[in-house]
Structure 1
Amino acid sequence: MSFGKIRLNNRSVLINWLISYISVLLVPILISGVIYTATWHVVESEVNRANESLLQQMEQAIDNNLAGIERLSVEMALSKRLSGFITASQPLTDNDYYDIVSIAGDLRVYKMANDYIDQIYVYYKNSDTVVSTRNRMDSRALYSLTRERDSTSYEEWKRFFDKRYIQEYAPVTLREDGNDVRAVMYAKSVILDNPEQPGAVILFIIKDSKLLENTSSANKTAVAVLDKQNRLIAASSKTRIPESWIKERLSGPNGLFYGDMDGEKTAVNYTTSAGNGWKYVSMMPAELFDEKMQYVKSLIAISLALSLLIGGIVSYIFLRKNYNPIDLLIRSLSSKSGISFKQGSNEYGYLQAALNDTFDEKERIGQRLERHRPAIRSHFLQGLLKGRLETDVPIHESLAAYDIRLATSYFAVLLFCVDSYGKFESTGYVNPQQEKLVHFIIRNVVEEVAGGKHQAFATETDDIQACIVNFSDESELDGLKSISQQVKSFMLEHFHIRLTVAESAIHQELEGIPLAYQQALAALEYRLVMGSGEIIRYEDLPSAASDKGSTSYYYPLHVEQQLINYVKTGDYEKSNALVDEIIDINVSDASLSVSLAKCLMFDLISTLLKTMDEIGAGNKREFMDSVNPVDQLTRCETIKEMRVQIGEVLRQVCQYIEKDSNRDYNQLSRLVIDYVKEHYSSENLNITMIGEAFKLTPSYLSKQFKAQTGEALLEFINKTRLEEAKRLLGEPSFSILEISKKVGYADINTFNRIFKKYEGITPGKYKEIM
């Protein structure tokens, strides 16, 4: 197999390498493109910055000169000689001609003061006289010299000057020696105090050549000036701005855009003067960018060509050099392993297939060896827990055979009992496969958690998951509860499986493991007292400590009689609280043994049965059959479960007794309600008065009324009075003091306080709202 034979095979690793090398060659191309784009933006930015600087200089120069003309116009408007001729009228007198000569002399002086001005005219409307620095004329002569367009009629031109007050710029076209010259006219009115006087207008004519004479533009760059109405004021050479640009693209205060002008792509910068609102526009052909970028473009093209040429040669050399070792390796494997390499195959795929075949064979051998190891290892751990080990095999050899390496001589045993299978339960049933899966998960989790710091060996014995913990360090002997808690929390959080965990004491040497297992079994049996879902330590059991009495039992006769009395009266809260107290006294200090716990369960069940048998209410048999308390209580497996079931039975029994007794006592609450509604206006109405009326003590009357209606008697009296008070507050004929007495409150302050307590506002505010 040679390099030449496979170079065109698209499945060969050679093609992948070639694609990789080509991809690497694309990197300098991409970088060159990025550099070219960045360079273009830099050049474009620099040219735009130069144009913006040009516009700012032009704006500053023109604005300053225009400001000088405006100041001069104010000075001329205040001249007595210019304003004095406003009152002259046709026909002109000799004095008027003399004044015209004087005014023309003044205009020449003013013109000399600002060389930016080409001509000054003063148009006197009253006499239809126009005076300039050179001669006198009428308005029609001025119209023939200065108007915006040839199509502008005299009437349109005249309407501009007929305004009451003028102070604005306008583009005009001057007629000089038969030629049209573009210019801008600044017009300012001169008026007298008499509003009826027509007044005069001072006209300053500035040629566009004067506007742009101090503006230096780059080669091929044209500039233009637009007024506030976007009319062309001045422009270099014969520049013409398209109407679409003026309407759509020059609408902002400043900006940059590209457009076609006379078939040529043009970069346009513009800015707006804050002083007079004029727009200053710079237009430069986009080809200038290309000229500046041509050199950079040539360098980049040369670098790309060199990169491709040199990179291609280097790629070919390294491609051939790197492929030779793989070619030799494939030849060797093909000849020795008996697996032939098919022409057109991928070299890496062939190598992977050859290696996978070798590994599969090794795995098959290992599987045959390991197939029976877990079962044998589990049997060994079960024997270790129960103390049944083979005596003819040394223990250290057995440990080594099952890959069990002990860190120290300290051991403990954990037992895990599944109280609820969580996600694996389906309608309360768990099939055998799911049950095995749960046990498998528990064993793996406990080995993973305990194996973080210690050695852990899990197995199943008598349907209980057991784990032998070998502590890695003597200083870590108190970490057993942490392992139990982590396993319990993990199973509950991820699978909703609730576990009861039993912990043995810590023992030394392998001979102590069977004793630890028996201790863990004893702790698991104490689940009856502690309840399911707990972590039970053997050292906390009553039998594990000599200072705790294992015969402690609390359920005296007077307490049992008290519980019977509470149940008979239907007092659920007191009876349930007493049951909780009895159970807490017995189990809170862990001094109750398993046998006594079973006795306590049966005693409490017996008490409830005796109590229910003594209830003399009607329909008792039907109620007993529906509640079925015996089945509810005897199904309990732990003290905690029994506490919950007793509470439920007590609730049902007390509700039944209370409902039965209410049939006799509800009549009393109805009589009391009628009595309060009849006597609410009496200032002496209170609980004592009502008790005397029914020959009952106040405390008993209050208790019975609250039991039957759910509401305190005093609150009912206040609410009845306030309902009538709110009705009377809606009538304007009664004062608040009168209403207070009518509903039984002798003190208006007491009335205000109680009204605000129940209604949230004072009676006066309530009356305003009504």
Structure 2
Amino acid sequence: MQGRLKGWKQLAADRRKSVFLTLIISYMIILLLPVTLGGFFYTRIEAIMIENANSSNTAMLEQVKRTIDSRMKEIDQLTQQIAFHPKLLRMLDQRGDGDAEQNLTSFIDFMGDMSRYSKVNSFIADSYVYFNNSDIVLSPKMKTDSHTLYQGIYNYQNLTYDQYKKQILLPYHSRFFNPSEEMTDGQGNSIRMITYVQSLPIGEKEHVAGAFVILINEKQITEMLANIQGIGDETVFILDADGTVLMSTAENDQENGEIISYLKKLDGGLSGKGSLEYAGTGQVKGQGQGLASDMMVAYTTSSQNGWTYVSVVHKAIVLSQVNAIKMWAITVVMICLAAGGVVCYYMAYRHYRPIRDLVHAVVRGGGTNSTAAFPKNEFELIKEKVHTLFEKEKDLETTLSRHALVVRTEFLSRLIRGHVDAAALTEQDLDFMNVHFESGLFAVLLLDIDDFSEFSQQNTEREWALMRFILSNVSVELLEHKSYLIEMERDRIAILVNLPTGDGCDTRMEAFVDNLKDMMDKRFKTKLSISVSDVHEGIERIQECYNEAVFAMAYKMIKGQNTVLYYEDVQKFGQSTYYYPMEMEVQLMNVARSGDFVNVEKILNRIYEVNFQSGGITPEMGKCLFFDMFSSVLKLLGSLNIEHNLVFNDESDPVRIISKCATAEQMVDQIKRLYKQLCEVVQEERTDHGEQLHRKMTDYMQEHFHDSMLSLTMMADHFGMNASYLSAFYKNYSGRNVSDEMTEMRLNACKRLLAESTLTVSEIAQQVGYSSNIGLTRVFKKAEGITPGQYRSAMNHESG
């Protein structure tokens, strides 16, 4: 016996172990699946980041290319204008002879033209024309010779004077760009310049008469690159068509030389648009000294001048965040795996424990007392037990079918009261209750037995049961639709009607009600009160039908007994609320804020008409309406900071103003009186406030008109107003626009400075609020008909 018991325990332990292992392996697979997928996705992060970085760098370079190409096109246009200038061509033909005064005049005129032409491009630091025969240099600002220009103005640190002449001025050059080089200007400042050279005349290779030279400040290009979105840690190179590096943004000369050396070694150079990588040895920012870093290179070539724009960035910088995330991810994954293993074991044990307990319960209660009685595992044991339970359920259904009528009546009684979750009912549930609905349309009728004394003089339970039986049978006989009767109380029967789809349901219901009342009155001398709900769709709305029927039956105390009450009709009796929507309250308060009592009165009349003349509001609801309207007055007083005694006439308890009124007419009159006093106070305060506000705005413009940033928006922010409202207020109060007032102040100050000072027009423009003399000249000429310079000349002539 003990041996058999020991064998049973060992077998049960083996079976439990097998189920437990199945559960824990399943949980481990679920745990490892997202970890595996996460590892796969992390391997794709680096490639995606590199691809995104290359795309971003290429897009940035395209923007750089378009910007610089546009500026270079302007330089080409300037070169064409200078090279083919008639005065320049005449001066190039001269051999140094001729009238000196005439030559000087020609030089001065040409220098003035150069000054006008050179302002079209912000890249141009300076430009000059060199004449070979006379060694004269003409720039927009001066006339000198090449030696003076080299020694005192633009001294190339890497070129001697002779090299400067031989490489820059004397040879034939066609749209030649000398790479950026350090030079010292006349004040001793060190600057980097790109030198553009075009020999003159254009196309004359044998007889070079001169050269047109443009100096491009590298700082201007660098600042432009810094303002382009996307440029961060990248190093940008600009190469000409021959692969010569014109300039770069590299901060480290060693790194700069390494990258340039790599670019020169590329087979076929860089052309078109693309990206590549190479192993660099430069220092990575923030990574320490001496660490090698792969470099990512993106490039694009201009079709206009053949220049190539190259972006170089350390790969480690692009992937720094990815690498940090990977380290964190690996750490988190390891922690999750350790914790997940523990959780998997716990969850497997937790979910196995009910199975173990169930098996023990089956063993104890199912008569299993030997190893031979055990199936192969716990699941088969449970399956066998469930099969047995199903057999018992069938037996139970057989027993319940004998009491189907009682069960169905109880079920329907709970259904119409809402004690059943109708949304969860299935066809099988309804079949079990022997309930069948032909459609989804339902209505509920309540039949109250008011008086059957003429049919029976006795008032016993037996007589009441007999009357309910008669009423139920007559109802079933007369009602054409599928229906179910439920005895609710001694004198009340509910009928759940399942209506067919289609028109005419309401008409047939009315016919049934009329026929039922007529038959019960004539044949059985019984008085009935009947309430009928609206028709609703869906089993879950049966409770709503019942509630509507109960609501309608409650009006029997008003209509009397032996009546038919339709919910559609009784729901209209009386108004359960009042009409004072939020939108109308906001409109009323906004009109009152402006002091417009005429429109306030119109709105109040409309509210009164809708609620008391057109509607059927009760006295209680009327009082609620007026207290709500009274609260709007209190809100206005608080938002406008108006003293209460100015509107309530020192009334200690303002609520009494409404509560002591006996009629609605008196209440609305009191509300109108309050709003009228409020509007009068608003109008009085608005007059003083408007004058002060206009004076403050004028003073503010007088103090800040010299600021070029002064605008309507700036004033609106200062005064805490909407810009449109401020503009409309100023125009309505003074009859002038804010912009016209600012312009007049600036022009008056400009006239005074033109007449009383020796400042230039550009300096005056900055002092009176214009960013350049061009804007001032345009506005001044539009207002006065002449330019500022002409105005100053006229004033000097008058004073002379």
- Normalising by the residue count of structure 2, what TM-score does the alignment of the two structures yield? 0.35
Larger Rg: 1
- Normalising by the residue count of structure 1, what TM-score does the alignment of the two structures yield? 0.36
